[in-house]
Amino acid sequence: MSESGKKLTIVGAGAVGTSAAHWAVSRKVAQEIVMVDVVDGIPQGKALDISQSAPLCGFHGSVIGTCDYKDTAGSDVVIITAGLARKPGMSRDDLLSKNVEIVKQVTENIVSQSPEAVIVVVTNPIDAMVYTVFKVSGFPKNRVVGMAGVLDSARYRTFLAKALGVAPRDVTALVMGIHGDNMLPLTRLASVAGVPVEQLLSKQQLEEIVRRTKYGGGEIVQHLKTGSAFTTPGLCAIEMAQSVLFDEKRVLPCAAYLEGEFGIDGVFLGVPVVLGRGGVERIVEFELTEQERAALEKSVEAVKKQVAATGL
């Protein structure tokens, strides 16, 4: 793949933002990559480091670090990772009050410089932060999208592949709903090369995999103690950005604004979407079982609580 000729901004040059920039260069998704942070020196140093991988990656574009949003002007895609990350004992909801203020301020700056951008929100709690960006930006719903389902599905696929003893890329699986304990890994639709996993693994094995997927982020926080997952979250954000920058029309589970789809209205929730140049070009709606619908309702309730806490 060669660079899209496009401009990508990553706000927050912390662990996730740095991972995203690294993957953006190695996948050559944009001609210009800009890293922004509030702490002077961090984005500049990280961008310089990453830019020096260009000869090894075959990357022909530029990577710059800055604290000045003017440098982000005219971005096609903006990934927001700015904000606090979890520590052991914290839920994603515990981050809300601090991160909502950060995300509001970041959004205002982004909108002033890149009024046509597609914004990919990574800051947690994602389902409330993506709503915050939507409200503050005034952007149409298709240009604001949250990164959660790609990560949760990657975790689900990894655990399924391990249990099956097969290549992870041959496992297809969908996780819908909130990025939190009430997420919905759909066992019924998980398959390996088209073969339903329900026919290959026991109910007990599948239940354990679903449980581990739901707490996949927390498991990493427990190990790290000083922060949360960053390598794969950064890649997942780039997977989404790439689909927009190259108009790939990938079908990826993302937090999208629902207006009646799946019988849900007025919230961002993880659903399968078609991601292309216009951002969320379509939500792929399908029939849920009664049990799945009830589980999704739980997600909706949890997201609504988060959104109420933003005060927006």
Q: Does 310 bind ligand APR (CB under 6 A)?
A: no
How far is it, in rounded angstroms, from Cα 185 to Cα 296? 10
Give min distance, CB of 18 to ligand APR, in A: 7
Contact call for residue 17 and ligand APR (CB under 6 A):
yes
Q: Report how far Cα 97 is from the mean position of its chain's Cα atoms.
A: 20
In the complex, least distance from residue 134 CB atom to ligand APR, rounded to whole angstroms? 17
**81 lies in the site for ligand APR, by CB under 6 A:** yes
Query: Given candidates 31, 107, 213, 228, which one binds ligand APR under the rule CB under 6 A?
Result: 228
Retrieve residue 296's tokens. 């999704």
Phi, psi of 114 (to 5 degrees): -135, 70
Triad 37, 100, 262: Cα angle to 5°? 115
Taking the C-alpha atoms of residue 226 and residue 176, their distance in angstroms, rounded to an integer, is: 28
Q: How far is residue 25's CA from residue 42's CA, in Å, rounded to a whole number?
A: 18
Helix (H, G, I), strand (E, B) or coil at 291: helix
Chain centroid offset of residue 177 CA: 13
- Annotation says 60 is catalytic: no
Q: Which residue is it, tokens 């793949």? A: 1
**Per rule CB under 6 A, is residue 180 in the interface with ligand APR?**
no
Q: How far is the CB of 229 from ligand APR (least distance, A)?
A: 7
Pairing verdict, β 265-276 and 195-196: unpaired
d(CA 151, CA 216): 10
Measured from the CB atom, is 18 or 187 closer to ligand APR?
18
Q: Of residues 8, 9, 12, 240, which one binds ligand APR by CB under 6 A? A: 12
Per the CB < 8 A criterion, the answer to whether 137 and 276 are in contact is: no
User: Which residue lies nearer to ligand APR by CB, 233 or 276?
Assistant: 233
Pick between residue 156 and residue 262 the one whose CB is nearest to ligand APR: 156
User: Is 86 an interacting residue with respect to ligand APR (CB under 6 A)?
Assistant: yes
In the block, tokens 């090894």 appear at: 56
38 interacts with ligand APR by CB under 6 A: yes
- Does 83 contact ligand APR by CB under 6 A? yes
Beta pairing partners, 229? none
- Catalytic option among 22, 60, 179, 223: 179
In angstroms, give the least distance from the CB of 297 to ligand APR. 25
The helix (run of H) or strand (run of E) holding residue 65 is strand 62-66
| Least distance to ligand APR, CB of residue 93, Å | 11
Size of the site for ligand APR (CB under 6 A): 30
Under the binding rule (CB under 6 A), the answer on residue 300 touching ligand APR is no
Which lies closer to ligand APR via its Cβ, residue 155 or residue 295?
155
Angle at the Cα of 266 (from 260 to 269), degrees rounded to 5? 85
Q: Using CB positions, name the residue nearest to ligand APR.
A: 14
Whether the CB-CB separation of 8 and 245 falls below 8 Å is answered with: yes
Phi-psi category of 82—alpha, beta or left, where left has phi over 0 and alpha has psi -120 to 50?
Answer: beta
Quick check: 197 binds ligand APR (CB under 6 A)?
A: no
Binder among 8, 10, 95, 190 for ligand APR (CB under 6 A) = 95
Stretch that binds ligand APR, among 13-21, 26-34, 202-210, 247-255 (CB under 6 A): 13-21
Q: Does 227 bind ligand APR (CB under 6 A)?
A: yes
What's the maximum distance between 2 C-alpha atoms anywhere in the chain? 55
Q: Active-site residues: which are they?
A: 179
- Footprint on this chain of ligand APR (rule: CB under 6 A): 11-17, 36-39, 42, 81-86, 95, 99, 102, 105-106, 122-124, 227-228, 230, 233
